[in-house]
Amino acid sequence: MRYKTIKLSALAMLALAGCGKQEAPQQQAHVVELGVVEVAARKVTMTVELPGRTNPYLVAEVRPQVGGIVLQRLFKEGGDVRRSDVLYQIDPAMYQATYNSAEAALSKAEANLASSKSRAERYADLVKINAVSKQDYDDVDAAYKQATADVEGAKAAVENARINLNYTKVMAPISGRIGKSEVTPGALVTASQPLALAKIQQLDPIYVDVTQSSVEWLRLKREIESGVLKTDSKKQARVKLKLEDGRMYAHEGKLEFSDVTVDQTTGMITLRAVFPNANHDLLPGMYVRAVLEEGVNEQAITVPQAGVSRDQKGQPLVLLVTPENKIERRVIAIDKEIGNDWLVTSGLSVGEKVVVEGSQRLMRLPADGTVKPVPAEGMNKGNGMSEQAAPSEAEKQ
């Protein structure tokens, strides 16, 4: 009897324990909220940034055209000179004497010409009446023509002497900024010597020579011909300039030409742009980066750089939210930066949703879990949780 009582008590306790044990309510699955952007086609101005160097618009090396001793330097080194300004004075004494001698020889020839002309005119009248022989007339006429030729030769000698005398004043062949002088007063110079006396460079406007690969040049040409890129009627690219310190140059330039040959060693094509340079902010030899506007892509697809990562092979990768609110990983192809975006050439279609915020939360997402896409700019509003917010109690569990 006692055994039965103990057994019933034990059963009663087990029953009570069974009744007291309630099934724990199933924890509500947490919905992972992700910030997304919807892919859309937009109008994008296509640019390319190319390295280059500045070069003077005109360059002239000043050399003497006659020899002699330099008497004076008549310019300030590093200053601006104008065309025909006198830069050096070479000793003109010898050239002045040569000029004077040529002038005297011309005067003598002109006097002889006057005499020969009068005699030829008289003999012309006399030969008509047979007062002189035909032979005498021919001799006088030949002497007149010889005197005429002597005058022309004497004039040429005078002109040559005058030119050499003027060359003793070494003048600026172009306007521009002149560099340092390679000679000082007292130096002996010779005609057409290899050493330039000074160099003049025209800096306004100024050239910027940049290089572009032939592959990129062919791609650009193909996209313009196919209509992907649209240019102006002249198909000329506008050019902006980025200086060595990162600042943008205040003035815009224009593309002058592209070279007609490809460098066989580098595979590059030289492009030349011209920029105004009134304040001489650009000096020859400066390293710059030219930003060329190649054209306009009317249907460009871009994606924020924050939404693009790389896989183990280095390929660009994005996370997409499917219509079923699942996550899809997809490799895409990108071309270049457009501001804070990447230009996508393949792999994305208009209307797809790319994850740009909250991707670290996917580590807590079950394999068959779903996500809640929210416009990226609305992640901090309502009940949405930003990437910087603290986790909730449910997430802590």
pLDDT tens column, 225-260: 766 555 555 656 678 999 988 899 999 888 877 777
> How many Å apart are CA 197 and CA 90, to the nearest integer?
12
> How many Å apart are CA 124 and CA 118, to the nearest integer?
10
Query: Mean pLDDT for the chain?
Result: 82
pLDDT tens column, 61-113: 999 999 999 999 999 999 999 999 999 999 999 999 999 999 999 999 999 99
What is the distance of C-alpha 370 from the center of its chain? 50
Six-digit token pair at 175?
């306007």
> How many Å apart are CA 330 and CA 347, to the nearest integer?
7
CB atoms within 10 A of CB 194: 6
Burial 155-192 (b: 16+ CB within 10 A, else e): eebbeebeebbebbbbbbebbbbbeebebeeeeebeee
Largest CA distance in the chain: 194
For residues 141 and 147, is the Cβ–Cβ distance under 8 A? no
Whether a cis peptide bond, with omega within 30° of 0, leads into 373 is: no
Whether a cis peptide bond, with omega within 30° of 0, leads into 92 is: no
pLDDT tens column, 112-162: 999 999 999 998 889 888 888 899 889 999 999 999 999 999 999 999 999
pLDDT of residue 359: 79
> How many Å apart are CA 14 and CA 4, to the nearest integer?
15
Segment (H or E) for 208: strand 198-213
Break the chain into its structural domains and give their ranges. 32-42+300-389, 46-57+200-298, 64-91+175-195, 93-167
Residue % of the chain over a pLDDT of 90:
45
Per CATH, is 46-57+200-298 categorized as 2.40.30.170? yes
> How many Å apart are CA 275 and CA 250, to the nearest integer?
10
> How many Å apart are CA 335 and CA 62, to the nearest integer?
49
Give the residue carrying structure tokens 């172009």: 174
Tell me what the mean pLDDT of segment 366-388 comes to.
Answer: 59
pLDDT of residue 30: 62
- As a 3-state breakdown, the chain gives helix, strand, coil percent values, each rounded to 5, of 30, 35, 35
Q: 325 pLDDT exceeds 50?
A: yes
pLDDT of residue 382: 37
Please provide the CATH number assigned to the domain covering 32-42+300-389. 2.40.420.20
Question: CA geometry: angle at 112 spanning 107 and 116, to 5°?
Answer: 150
pLDDT of residue 83: 94
pLDDT of residue 183: 95
Per CATH, is 64-91+175-195 categorized as 2.40.50.100? yes
Q: Which amino acid is at 377?
A: E
Q: 383 pLDDT exceeds 70?
A: no
pLDDT of residue 49: 84
> How many Å apart are CA 376 and CA 303, to the nearest integer?
13
Please provide the CATH number assigned to the domain covering 93-167. 1.10.287.470
Task: For the chain, count helices (H), then strands (E).
Answer: 5, 21
pLDDT of residue 394: 35
> How many Å apart are CA 291 and CA 338, to the nearest integer?
13
| Residue-by-residue DSSP string for 95-108 | HHHHHHHHHHHHHH
